[in-house]
Amino acid sequence: MKLFLTAGEASGDALGAALMAGLKALCLDVRFEGVGGPLMAAEGLESLFPMEDLAVMGLLEVLPKYRFLKARIAETAAAVTAAEPDALITIDSPDFSLRVARLVREAHPGQRTIHYVAPTVWAWRPGRAAKMAPLIDHVLALFPFEPPYMEAAGMTCDFVGHPVVSMPRATEAEARAFRDAHSIDEGQPLLLCLPGSRKGEVTRLMPRFEQALERLQAGHPGLRVAIPTVRGVAGLVGDAAARWRTPPLVLTDAADKRAAFAAADLALAASGTVSLELAANRVPMVIAHDFNRLTWWMMKRAALIDTVTLVNIVAETRAIPEFLGPACRPGPIAGALGTLLRDETARETQQAAMEVTMDRLGRGTEPPGLRAARSVLARLSQPG
């Protein structure tokens, strides 16, 4: 069996790697081609080009790279057509993935296609499912409420669980060792600063986060800050962090990052799946994100719900405070973080929502990568 997989960012790379591992466990004769990052490479994928080429977010952020991205889309579609795989499996990154699928379908109408991560039609732009249906046969959904939306548009869909429920977590001993290694006393608060995994996010958010944390540290001088980051933006984060008045720890090693999540007392994070990783570690958080004005205006007009934080959505609560768009300002962000440091009830309310979220996302069941692999193989075993 030959499969062509595409991933465009760090979260997609993790999904793809887990899916590849699951497929290898269930199918001895499986080969992979495509686009991915270091985790997919570790499972045997030789990427067509660096995955970081695709890590762009927002309308105005995409425009300067439009011709380059269009060329990458065409290059990928041509590689799929040449490979003649049993299935094209596109992973998240819909602006890239669905354009590739469209070109592939135009060249080879019978190509089987599977998309991993259902579009968030329950949050905004509900028409995306109908537009996706002519290009995609089957969808692997991360959230239990998503299959009906996909099926109504004409695709088959399986809820396979969210990968956060099976991510490795550090032990209490590893968390203590992390604190000891960085001279962080037991009663000294440790804050995780998470400004995103895309260059545009980091550039936009790091100055705001720096200002917010300076204000917070003025009232809590013992506060320590760590910034776990990913390969594609590690240099950018490190350069920016070195200019902070109180330079934070910048973490790139996977074991260090896991230990920091287990050791942390609270977090300031960009919106995205990192909120679920924090929830898995029971870390109270504040979410903040900013966009250029046009992107923000378009998002506000299209939004169907009043929150972007996945813990709030899955647990059906609004326990996690958000500061989005024009509200992404250092003063209010620092105030919300200060509340979490002082108010045990606020922390416990968040942690209760986190427990509900993890249960609903499949905690305690078969690993999502294996469930996704079973879904892929079941779909490919069906005619047409």
Higher pLDDT, 129 or 123: 129
215: left (phi over 0), alpha (psi -120 to 50) or beta: alpha
Which burial class, exposed, middle or buried, applies to 1 when counting CB atoms under 10 A from its CB (0-12, 13-18, 19+)? Answer: middle
Where do the structural domains in the chain lie, given as residue ranges? 2-161+365-380, 172-360
Q: What is the pLDDT of residue 59?
A: 47
Token pair listed for 280:
């898995």
Q: Which of 3.40.50.2000, 3.40.50.720, 3.30.1490.20, 2.30.110.10 is the CATH number of 2-161+365-380?
A: 3.40.50.2000
**Per-residue pLDDT tens digits for 298-354:** 667 767 788 889 999 999 999 999 999 999 999 999 999 999 999 999 999 999 999
Q: What is the dihedral of CA 9, 210, 354, 92, to 10 degrees?
A: -10
Instruction: For residue 11, name the pLDDT band (cuts at 50, 70, 90).
Output: confident
Average the pLDDT over 73-82 and give the result. Answer: 97
Taking all residues of the chain, what is their mean pLDDT, rounded to a whole number? 93
Over pLDDT 70: what percentage of the chain?
Answer: 95
Query: Residue 251's beta-bridge partner residues?
Result: 228
Say yes or no to pLDDT of 8 above 80: yes
Query: Residue 266's beta-bridge partner residues?
Result: 191
Q: What is the pTM of this model?
A: 0.83
Instruction: For residue 35, name the pLDDT band (cuts at 50, 70, 90).
Output: very high
Average the pLDDT over 3-21 and give the result. Answer: 94
Q: What is the pLDDT of residue 380?
A: 96
Say yes or no to pLDDT of 369 above 80: yes
| Same fold? 2-161+365-380, 172-360 | yes
Cβ count within 10 A of residue 220: 18
Say yes or no to pLDDT of 80 above 90: yes
Residue range 172-360, CATH number: 3.40.50.2000
Q: What is the pLDDT of residue 63?
A: 64
